[in-house]
């Protein structure tokens, strides 16, 4: 039983790949790689969450190819494209915001973060108009007008509302998270030496963008 001795901590190169040279005193020290691993794992769960819906989409698109094409025409391509560009741009400003804080440029970072938030809002506003317009035309879940269409089209809009709805929910969550980050930035809780929070929020935001990159062709570009 004496095989494990208690010794002074040994130097880092004696440890294996990722194990931190962890000793009692450094216990409370921030482990940034650890935090990032945690964040990525969380992103995978998000990916698989949407994965389930994409799977359903694949099955139904195969089953109802023609209905999907017809129903797809009803979506507004211009709004979809504009929203794609907005979201991509917000991703850019997000990345730039992190790049700025890495270089210690706090004000620039704040500026970029605010623009990200504004872009996110713009995305939601457009989404709102898109949905309400559909609703006015009677294309809403369980609305008699939609129910009178063929099954494939009902399913198309079912998928459309579920997937873009879930995505929009993620945008809203992202918005809240980013607002907190803004607050932290202003309070200097995020700074040149400690910006892992902002980085992780950025990762989340890019994932939201990533999902949209696939949603866009699957719903708006059907022909």
Binding mask of the shown chain, residues 25 to 64, with x at each position contacting other proteins by CB under 8 A? --x---xxxx-xxx-xxx-xxxxxxxxxxxxx-xxx-xxx
Query: Residue 216 to residues 129, 196, 213: CA-CA distances in angstroms?
Result: 17, 30, 6
Q: Restricting to residues 166-195, which ones interact with other proteins according to CB under 8 A?
A: 166
- In 3D space, the residue among 20, 198, 35 whose CA is nearest the CA of residue 106 turns out to be 198
Using CA atoms, how far apart are residues 108 and 117, in angstroms rounded to an integer?
Answer: 14
User: Please, which residue, 171 or 209, has the CB nearer to other proteins?
Assistant: 209
Find the shortest distance in angstroms from Cβ 124 to other proteins: 19
Using CA atoms, how far apart are residues 101 and 116, in angstroms rounded to an integer?
Answer: 15
Among 70, 79, 92, 111, binds other proteins (CB under 8 A): 92
Q: Per rule CB under 8 A, is residue 107 in the interface with other proteins? A: no
Among 70, 76, 79, 95, binds other proteins (CB under 8 A): 95
Among 66, 102, 148, 188, binds other proteins (CB under 8 A): 102
Give the DSSP letter of residue 194.
Answer: B
Among 110, 120, 164, 209, binds other proteins (CB under 8 A): 209
Which phi and psi (to 5°) does residue 2 adopt?
-80, 5
């Amino acid at each position: 039983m004496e095989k494990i001795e208690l010794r002074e901590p040994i130097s880092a190169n004696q440890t294996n790949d990722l194990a931190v040279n962890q000793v009692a005193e450094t216990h409370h020290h921030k482990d940034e790689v650890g935090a990032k691993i945690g964040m990525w794992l969380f992103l995978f769960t998000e990916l698989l969450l949407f994965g389930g819906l994409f799977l359903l989409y694949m099955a139904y698109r195969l089953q109802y190819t023609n209905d999907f094409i017809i129903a797809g025409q009803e979506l507004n391509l211009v709004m979809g494209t504009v929203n794609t560009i907005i979201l991509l741009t917000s991703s850019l400003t997000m990345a730039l915001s992190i790049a700025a804080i890495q270089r210690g440029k706090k004000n620039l970072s704040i500026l970029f973060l605010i623009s990200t938030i504004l872009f996110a809002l713009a995305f939601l506003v457009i989404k709102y108009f898109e949905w309400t317009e559909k609703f006015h035309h009677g294309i809403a879940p369980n609305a008699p007008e939609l129910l009178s269409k063929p099954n494939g089209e009902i399913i198309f809009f079912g998928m459309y509302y579920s997937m873009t709805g879930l995505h929009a929910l993620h945008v809203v969550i992202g918005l809240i998270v980013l607002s907190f980050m803004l607050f932290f930035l202003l309070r200097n809780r995020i700074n040149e030496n400690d910006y892992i929070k902002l980085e992780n929020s950025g990762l989340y935001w890019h994932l939201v963008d990533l999902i949209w990159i696939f949603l866009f062709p699957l719903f708006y570009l059907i022909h």
